[in-house]
Structure 1
Amino acid sequence: MTDDAPQKGGRRAARPRRKSLAGRLMLWITVTITALWLVAVGFGALIMHDEFGEIYDSALQETAERLTPLLLDDLRRRDDLETPQRIDASRPPAEEEYLSYQVRDLTGRVLLHSHSATARPFEAPLRTGFWQAGNGRIYTATAADGTIFVQVKDTAEEREEATREGSLALLLPVLLIVPITIAAVWLAVRRALAPVETLRAAIAEKDGGNLAAIEATHLPVELQPILRSVNLLLARLRAVVAAEREFTSNSAHELRTPIAGALAQTQLLLTELKDAPARTRAQQIETSLQKLTKLTEKLLQLARAEAGIGVAETTFDIADVVGVVVTDFQRASDDAQRIRFSSELAVPRLCEGAADAFAIVLRNLIENALLHGKAGAPVDIRLTGEGNVCISNAAPRLSEAELVAVRKRFARGRTAAAGSGLGLSIAERLLQQMRASLVLTSPIPGRVDGFQAEIVFPAAG
């Protein structure tokens, strides 16, 4: 069963999603680069946080040490030290003060404090050094006599804001650098994988109609073994196809000769027999041998089609082959008067493939039209301006299911005429090898009945 075989319930098997090598590389490279940049930003933010802490601590200590003599001098000039005094109470407080300070005695009582500081003592102990409070960091400076302590505090929000803005300053360039880096990597990956895509496209072109070796041009060393293996496989396939063609040709000769001899002997016997019963049997033998001859011819054509006789590196003129085949039918067929040929082709139309194979296709389609068409009705053979060939005949209208069924081997439509049911299969197989297609239509376009077989060639390059 093939991949397209219908499953139970009328559903088709789901095809696995194809994964691209370039897509995988881009995904992993993108994830890796982004992760590395984010890790770098994280480490940078940690280092920056520590450095900012050192800078703020240094500024805090220097501020406290510079304020100490000034505040001591201010204390000496004040008379009322029973209640905490605010420095320069007449001046309105600034909108935003990052530092606040208090002057305390040995008992911890607040003597002086800044505008932003409260009269409640800071939670730091009365000893020289830093203290980490819940909402900021405090440095305590001690007067020379050891009785007065100046405590300067900065807010935690200030430090966090500095770290946050610094981290953002590191992250913003990353948001620009990462896409640029990914774009550069994408271009590099595309350029590096271009030979792989070239080789893939060259291999994809190979089918039953093209088994020529792939040219080994501009491929990197890593792909050379693959190319050699593919060319070796193609060479083996060419040898197999050649052997099948030779066998088919020999078989055709060996089969035709004894059948033709038996038919000739039967026909000679008919001329000698006068007795009615014996003559009737001889006539039945003749009819059977004639059917066997036609069936053998079709089977040999089918075998040749399967062997790939339509594959050729040459070209032929479609109009020339059609003209020759139509002329042969008009000369040799009993229904020559039924055949009507017309051509709309203004210039020669060349097609890749074997002219003999195309002639077999035409013969099968014309024979089918004459055999299965309405008796006495004309068979129209038209060569279109694009180089396609339309063969139509009068016949009852066929349904879509019947059009599909007649394509199968040994399948026949609603007809009582003799035949093997192989003509369309042979024609379709040979046309595939010539990169053409067979389109069956019923009724004929513009009519209510009839049957049309159209040979559609690829557009001329």
Structure 2
Amino acid sequence: MQHKPSLQKRLGLWLIASVILLWLVAVASASFIVRYEMNQVFDSALEETAQRILPLAIADILSRDSDTGPQRAPALQAHHEYLTYVVRQRNGELLLQSHDVDLRVFATLPRAGFYETSSHRFHGIAAVQGTIYIEVAEPLAHRQAAFLRITLSLLKPLLLLIPFSFIGVWWLTRRALRQVVQLQRLVEVRDAGDLSKVEVQALPEEFAPLIDTVNRLLARLRRALDAERSFTANSAHELRTPLAIALAKLQRLQLQLQDEPLKTQVQEIEHSLRRLSRLSEKLLELAKAEGGSTQNEQLNDLVPIIQMLARDYAYKAPGRMLLQLPEQAVKSHLDPDAFAILLRNLIENALCHGDPQQPVIIRLSADGLLRVINGGTVVPAEQLAVLRQRFVRSNSKSLGAGIGLAIVDAITSSAGIELHLYSPARGRCDGFEVSLNIIVVV
């Protein structure tokens, strides 16, 4: 079975993905702005540090009594320096350095202004007519670590945002699509015979034209089916009385005739009228099957109905009815009248089209599986597929009207029962079998 996507699930996933994507875009934009502003602040700190330290360093250098070589600025307490500096002459001779400086990161000759290497960013200032330079260095890893901490702090709320977004979006979509879900359930619980109007209050505007179109279509279909059923029922009903009168008069005429050839012709006419009478009865049953209710709210034991019909047909076909019924009752919500019409047509179909030398088996299990089996030749698969259609017979020589299985199919479809046809019958190499489960749950 092909999986059908859910509108609620799809909408929820798209909304959650959109919220997460927008949050990531916002974090990326904020990180870009923070990185730019952070670089401005750190560059300002480099420049400010160089401008503050250089006058003090020059004063210290000029106040020396003698040339004692490069000196290291003392530290009040041991600590790690993020900003280190060196004071040098124009030729690169070192005059003063911070206590934790790594001279390998500095270039051979001093430079003024901002510049950077693969590991550090520098700012240099010259004084005393360009003879003394100070260069302050900051590790780029320091800036990267600060930027990473800020970015992670912006991403941490996303861990809480995802579950809360999921709960919020699920609740909102469920609330917004509540009427759509109600519409889905109303359509799902309908059977094939329910053509009443679909009504859902406060349905979203996008679905309103769809429901209006569906209701108009159902109304047209209901009118068409009602007209067809009315025509079938009225035609069959109106034919019964004239046919009965014609048969009675024909039988009286047959008793008065002495000419044998004429009697034979009258018998053929009588036979045709009887077939027409049976056809009218079947059409009336079909109209009832298609238009009537096939389910009851209360449970009914269907075993006595099977026994009663089997006894009736045992007189018409002695020795051919074979019952295999459970000892306990088999109760169903299937309407007793509808079930009687269904079983009567199955029995007549088996007697009419089956082998007259073999019995008709009516087998009912305790779980409600009904099987009607008759012997006879195997029905080809292409004919088996169309036997449920009206006026279709597997054997054109039989006396049936080809409408019995159509009546059975109409009843089972209305009741939501699956009807299965097998030829040969299951467990045999010949015959025909009809199988269905008569336990209907309302």
**Fold match, TM over 0.5?**
yes
The Cα of 1:457 is off from its aligned counterpart by 2.7
Q: Is the counterpart of residue 167 in structure 1 residue 148 in structure 2? A: no
Pair 1:373-2:354 in alignment = yes
CA distance in 2, matches of 1:342, 1:97: 99
The answer to whether structure 1 residue 403 and structure 2 residue 391 are counterparts is no
* Alignment CA distance shift 1:260-1:395 (3 Å): same
Map of 1:10 onto structure 2: none
Secondary structure at the aligned position of 1:337 is classed as coil
Separation (CA, whole Å) in 1 of partners of 2:339 and 2:267: 35
> What's 1:279 paired with?
263
Determine the structure 1 residue equivalent to 2:249.
Answer: 265
Deviation, 1:33, is 0.6
CA distance in 2, matches of 1:22, 1:183: 13
- 1:119: Cα distance to partner? 5.0
Q: Which moved more, 1:142-151 or 1:34-43?
A: 142-151
Letter in 2 for 1:390: R
Query: Within 5 A, what are the aligned runs for 1:202-217?
Result: 202-210=186-194
CA distance in 1, matches of 2:222, 2:395: 40
Partner Cα distance (2:42, 2:211) in 1:
69
Q: Which residue of 318, 340, 347 maps to 1:359?
A: 340
1:404-428 superposed Cα distances (whole Å, 9 cap, x missing partner)? 2433333322574322222112111
User: Residues of 2 paired with 1:119 and 1:384: CA distance?
Assistant: 99
Q: Would the aligned equivalents of 2:331 and 2:439 in 1 still touch at CA under 8 Å?
A: no
The structural deviation recorded for 1:256 is 1.5
Code of the residue aligned with 1:115 in structure 2: it is D
Q: Select the residue among 212, 229, 234 that pairs with 1:250.
A: 234
2:34 alignment partner AA: M
Looking at structure 1, the residues matched to 293 and 309 of structure 2 have their Cα atoms a distance apart, in angstroms, of: 17
Amino acid at match of 1:253: H
- What are the Cα deviations for residues 413-456 of structure 1, in whole angstroms up to 9, with x where unaligned? 25743222221121111111122232223344444433222231
Give the secondary-structure state (helix, strand or coil) at the position aligned to 1:411: coil
- Kindly state the Cα deviation for residue 359 of structure 1 after the two structures are TM-superposed: 1.6
The separation in 2 between residues aligned to 1:86 and 1:175, in whole angstroms, is 54
Question: Which stretches in structure 2 are left out of the alignment for 5+ residues?
Answer: none
Q: Work out whether residues 358 and 431 of structure 1, in 8 Å CA contact, stay in contact via their aligned partners in 2.
A: no
How far, CA to CA, are the matches of 2:83 and 2:407 in structure 1?
A: 96
What's 1:7 paired with?
A: none
Residue 347 of structure 1 is matched in structure 2 by 329
Correspondence for 2:41: 55
How far, CA to CA, are the matches of 1:154 and 1:110 in structure 2? 21
Separation of aligned partners in 2, 1:204 and 1:80: 100
Q: Offset at 1:310?
A: 4.2
CA distance in 2, matches of 1:309, 1:295: 19
Cα distance in 2 between the residues matched to 1:322 and 1:237: 35
| C-alpha contact (below 8 Å) 2:123/2:137 kept by paired residues | yes
User: What secondary structure sits across from 1:263 in the alignment?
Assistant: helix
The 1:448/1:228 distance shift into structure 2, 3 A limit, reads closer
C-alpha deviation, 1:367, in angstroms: 0.7
1:22-37 mapped onto 2 (5 Å cutoff): 22-37=8-23
User: TM-score normalized by structure 2?
Assistant: 0.80
Instruction: Choose from 121, 136, 158 the match for 2:109.
Output: 121
The answer on whether the counterparts of 1:60 and 1:152 sit within 8 Å (CA) in structure 2 is yes
- In structure 1, which of residues 71, 74, 79 is the aligned counterpart of residue 57 of structure 2? 71
- For the 8 Å contact 2:353–2:398, the answer to whether it is kept is yes
The yes-or-no answer on 1:20 pairing with 2:6 is yes
- 1:194 aligns with 178
User: CA distance change for structure 1 residues 244 and 450 in 2, over 3 Å: closer, same or farther?
Assistant: closer
Query: Which residues of 2 match residues 174-185 of structure 1 at below 5 A?
Result: 174-185=158-169
Tell me, in whole angstroms, the C-alpha distance in 2 between the residues paired with 1:273 and 1:384: 54
- Taking the aligned partners of 1:111 and 1:228, their CA distance within structure 2 comes to 89
Aligned position for 1:3: none
Shift in CA distance, 415/78, structure 1 to aligned 2, threshold 3 Å? farther
After superposition, the CA RMSD in angstroms is 3.9
Q: Which runs of 5+ in 1 are unaligned?
A: 1-13
* Residue range with higher mean Cα deviation, 138-147 or 22-31: 138-147
Write the deviation string for residues 365-400 of structure 1: whole angstroms up to 9, x where unpaired: 101111222223222223321233222222234454
The counterpart of 2:370, out of the listed 368, 385, 389, is: 389
Residue of structure 1 in register with 2:31 after alignment: 45
**Displacement after TM superposition at 1:264 (Å):** 2.6
**Aligned-pair identity (%):** 37
SS class of match (1:53): helix
Any conservation in 2 of the 1:435–1:458 contact (CA below 8 Å)?
no
Closer, same or farther: CA 231–398 of 1 in aligned 2, 3 Å: closer
Quote the offset at 1:201 in angstroms: 0.5
Equivalent residue, structure 2, for 1:423: 404
1:152–1:75 Cα change, 3 Å: farther
Which residue number in structure 2 is paired with residue 4 of structure 1? Answer: none
Q: Which moved more, 1:426-435 or 1:393-402?
A: 393-402
CA change 1:325–1:235 in 2 (3 A) is: farther
Distance in 2 (alpha carbons) for counterparts of 1:325 and 1:226: 50
Contact kept? 2:237, 2:284, Cα under 8 Å: no
CA distance 1:119–1:350, shift in 2 (3 Å): closer
2:272 matched residue in structure 1: 288
Q: Does the CA-based 8 Å contact 2:371-2:434 persist in structure 1?
A: yes
Change (3 A) 1:341 1:118: closer
